[in-house]
Structure formats: C-alpha cells, structure tokens
Amino acid sequence: MKLLLLLIITILFNCAKSQNCFVQTGFSGATLEFISSDTNSNIRNDNGVFGYTGVTNGTLSVDIENGIVFVDSSELSVSFTGTYQSSSQIYGFEGTSTLFIINEGTCYKSALSFVIPINQIPQINKIGTNTIGTLECGVYEVVNQENQDITSITVLVNEQDCSLVSGNSVNNNGNPGSSLINFYNYVPKANPSYFNLPSICNNAQPLPTSNQNHMNTISHSLSLLNYLK
C-alpha cells in the first residue's frame, strides 16, 4: 500500500550518503505540498498490483524524531467502472504502530505497516542533470527500492538547498504506465498542528477491504509516501 511518499522520506533524510545533497544530519522532519498525476501507474496493495489513473493533490508533514506522519489529499481517479472523487486524511503514529484514515467523513483504524523513518535505505545514484525553467536540478535514480520489480523511480533535486522538485515513476513489468509528482512550499521541519487526531477517530472503525474504490484511494494516498521513504 505504499509506493511513492515513503520513499521521499528516506531520500530527504537518510539515503545516498555518498552524494553531496544527502550527507546532512539533524533533519527532524519536513512539510510540503504536492500534486501527482498517474496514468495506469503500478500500485501495490494487500490484494496485489493494480493500475491507477488519476490526479491527486495535498499536503504532507512528517516528524522524524517522534515518528508521526500526516497526509491530507484529494483525488480524482478514473477506472473502467467510472470516475471516482475522494478526499482523505491519514495519520500514522509509530509509537503505537497505528494508522488512522479519515475518508468520506468516517475514521478507520489499521496497523501501521511501515517505520518512520524507513530503516531499509535504498541506493540512490546520480545519473545526470536537467533544467526545469531556469532551475538546474540533479537527477537521481532510486536503485533498490522495495517495489523495483514493478516500477522504476527517479527524482529531481534542487542541489542548491537539496529540496525535492519532482519525482517520476515508470512501470517496468510490461504494463505501460507512469506517474509524475511535483513538490511545492517545502519546509525542512514538521508542522505539529497537523498531528492533532480529530475526535471522530475516538471510535474509529476497522479498515474495510470490500470497497475497491475506497481501498484504491487509501493505497494511492499511502503510495505517495514512497517518494519520502
């Protein structure tokens, strides 16, 4: 259930120690906004791999020191069953190994399936440079991320301040598809105001698995975390 935002946490804070942009220490967290566009991009959840098509925008804040992550996202997705629009808020607490998902006015509770920050650090190789507008960026390839059997991931980094600019994933399992995610208003610290769990979650329900649209929404929201992993 996680393909893109968890990867970014690791890139920001832990990986590619041999590269100049990733040798800093002392990061405690980050807050940023994002917009992603997917065309049949591979997403893996507990039921296997499916192709996701849609547009998602939202806000992410992660507290590395205390093991807390928050994602607020809205999406418009398209499938053979029609168009599906949804919004969700995700709260992950490593201290209690608990994940809360608020979707369509209902709060669901599940076990947290990842560690903040991720302990398994992927290998990052700088493969070149590119320019967006007039901004020159380093291009990095993520070599041994956990979903490398279904997707290849590259990220563009502003090497002046080592902030993420954009990320791209391409299906590599014979199923054509790709995704693009852009990042905005990056701040190198968590925003604690995002971590207050709403009272609606005092009586959270178990996370359902029967509604495919619902599960795809949550899978995609969590997949955004892989860019931060």
Alpha carbon distance 101, 33 (integer Å): 19
pLDDT tier at 44 (50, 70, 90 boundaries)? confident
Per-residue model confidence (pLDDT) at position 158: 85
Per DSSP, the three-state class of 196 is coil
Q: Rounded mean pLDDT of 219-226?
A: 51
Q: Given this model, what pLDDT does residue 130 score?
A: 93
Q: Which helix (H) or strand (E) holds 221?
A: helix 212-223
Mean pLDDT of 180-207: 91
Asked if residue 158 lies in contact with residue 135, where contact means CB atoms within 8 angstroms, the answer is yes
CA nearest to 213, candidates 54, 7, 33: 54
Angle between helices 212-223 and 5-13 (to 10 degrees): 10
- 71 and 224 in contact (C-beta within 8 Å)? yes
Whether residue 218 has pLDDT greater than 70: no
Confidence of residue 229 (pLDDT cuts 50, 70, 90): very low
Contact yes or no for 224/73 (Cβ under 8 A): yes
**Tens-place pLDDT, residues 88-132:** 898 989 889 898 989 888 999 988 766 665 545 567 788 999 999
* Average pLDDT value for residue range 43-58: 83
pLDDT at 145: 64
Q: Which residue has the higher pLDDT, 165 or 148?
A: 165
pLDDT value at residue 212: 46
Query: In order of start, what are the domains of the chain with their CATH numbers?
Result: 5-226 (2.50.20.10)
Query: What does the radius of gyration of the chain's CA atoms come to, in whole angstroms?
Result: 17
Q: What residues contact residue 41 under an 8 Å CB cut-off, 6+ apart?
A: 3, 51, 52, 53, 151, 169, 171, 177, 178, 179
Angstrom CA distances, 96 to 110, 111, 207, stand at 11, 9, 17
Question: For position 155, what pLDDT does the model report?
Answer: 85
- The pTM (predicted TM-score) of the whole model is 0.78
DSSP state string for 14-43: TS-TTSGGG------EEEEEEEEEEEEEEE
